[in-house]
Structure 1
Amino acid sequence: MYAISLDDKGSELRPLEPWRAEEFLEHMDRGRKFIGRFVGLADAVTDLDSSRRFLQGYAHKAANDTGRLYGIWTGGELVGGVLFRTFDTRSGVAEAGCWLEPSAAGRGLVTRACRVIIDWAIEERGIHRVEWHAASGNAASIAVARRLGMSRDGVLRESYPYRGERHDMEVWSVLAPEWRAADRTP
């Protein structure tokens, strides 16, 4: 197993694997209301079985090279994660995403974790385009896309039904040449 440091306060990025299902469920329970405002993950992971199924689904995606899932730990506690919801090396397109519980919000952890996985996808795996999809009302997620140097491609109007309401979905992206040219000095 590996861990990548995200800051000088002990925050780390690690694979989030099925054997961590109980820890993942506890994390979801702590952040369910906050996470569930825009992310369906809070509704999908509600008990130990659904937690295992979700993590096992991403283990299968990783084995098939079609997705990845990573957790963010602070002080030894799982507080969020980043992922490649889709990962298609043939077309060179991947969709990145994130979630975070309130205790870890506003510290730049998601941005730093996404930089790690996007850099890996582009430099190691040859991904040409990394997309970011966010509900138009999710200002925090849109701010991450901006900090990552992504461009807003457009808005899919009322394309996202969630909890009985239709939401506009913004699509953001960064292309490999743009990623390589960006100055990411802190």
Structure 2
Amino acid sequence: MEPVEINAGNYYLRQLRADELMDDRPALVEAFADPTQRRYVPGYQVGTLEEAGEYVAVRARQWERDERCSWAVAEPTTGDLLGEILLKNLDLEAGVAEAGLWIHPNARGRGVGVTALSAALRFGFGALGLREISYQHEESNTASAAVARRCGFTHVRTEHAGPGVEPELIWTRGPAGAM
């Protein structure tokens, strides 16, 4: 599918970019250098502009393959990257996906995640016709739990992977009452 832009009120959602008009790579490197980001968004190497460029390219390919809708949360007047919102593990036939997000350290605590995720949920339930969107995070990530509650998700279970591994909270939401 083609990437779409979404007006999210105080912010807008757009494709991540690394081109002559807009370059999200420096903000990506900065965000992924943050200890909280590394803790709760593991598994990504985004320490250089080259790695950030590959991150942007991967997200573009995922849009093309209908695997993931990924949006840069942008400040509307400057276009500055404030975070990323996504619908991943898309199964359009089954009507399900998993939501995810991260917010740049400089933008945390301002409601960016709730506003942007609410817009992505409207897109998922409306434009994509999804029937259920799940959301999961580590138990200690209280900011993610607050976003889930404010976006209308219901906590359905806690998964324990084993000793020494933090439990994951699993939330779900259907289109009824979509924001």
Shift of 1:118: 0.8
Instruction: State whether residues 18 and 59 of structure 1, in contact with CA within 8 Å, keep that contact through their aligned partners in structure 2.
Output: no
Give the structure with the larger helix fraction.
1
User: Which residue of structure 2 aligns with residue 168 of structure 1?
Assistant: 167
The runs of at least 4 consecutive aligned structure 1 residues that moved more than 6 Å come to none
2:94 equivalent to 1:91: yes
**What's the CA shift for 1:144?**
0.4
Measure the CA separation in 1 of the matches of 2:8 and 2:155.
Answer: 29
CA distance in 1, matches of 2:177, 2:67: 21
1:101-152 deviations in whole A, cap 9, x for unaligned?
A: 2221111111111111111111111100001111111000111000011001
Measured against aligned partners, the alpha-carbon deviations of 1:64-95 in whole angstroms (never above 9, x if no partner) come to 11101111122522121101122110111111
2:14 counterpart residue number = 14
Q: Using a 3 Å threshold, how does the CA distance of structure 1 residues 81 and 90 change in structure 2: closer, same or farther?
A: same
Which structure carries more strand by proportion? 1
| Counterpart mapping for 1:96-175 below 5 A | 96-158=99-161, 166-175=165-174
Structure 1 residues 96 and 60, CA gap change in structure 2 (3 angstroms): same
- Structure 2 distance, partners of 1:143, 1:5, is 19
> In structure 2, what is the Cα distance between the partners aligned to 1:89 and 1:3?
19
Note the C-alpha offset of 1:62: 0.8
Q: Structure 1: 5+ residue runs without aligned partners?
A: none
Residue of structure 1 equivalent to 2:71: 70
Given that 2:17 and 2:24 are in contact with CA atoms closer than 8 Å, whether structure 1 keeps it comes out as no
Question: What code does the residue aligned with 2:130 have?
Answer: I
Listed as ranges, the gaps of 5+ residues in structure 2 are none
Q: Tell me, yes or no, if the aligned pair for 2:8 and 2:115 is still in contact at 8 Å.
A: no
Aligned residues: 171
Paired position in structure 2 for 1:28 = 28
CA apart distance, 1:6: 3.0
Residues 30 and 123 (structure 1), Cα distance of their counterparts in 2 relative to 1, 3 Å cut: same
Structural RMSD (CA): 2.4
What CA distance in whole angstroms lies between the structure 2 residues aligned with 1:55 and 1:28? 9
Structure 1 position 3, deviation (Å): 5.5
Aligned to 1:54: 55
CA distance in 2, matches of 1:53, 1:29: 12
- What is aligned with 2:40? 38
What TM-score, normalized to structure 1? Answer: 0.81
Q: State the identity as a percent.
A: 22
* Secondary structure in 2 matching 1:66: coil
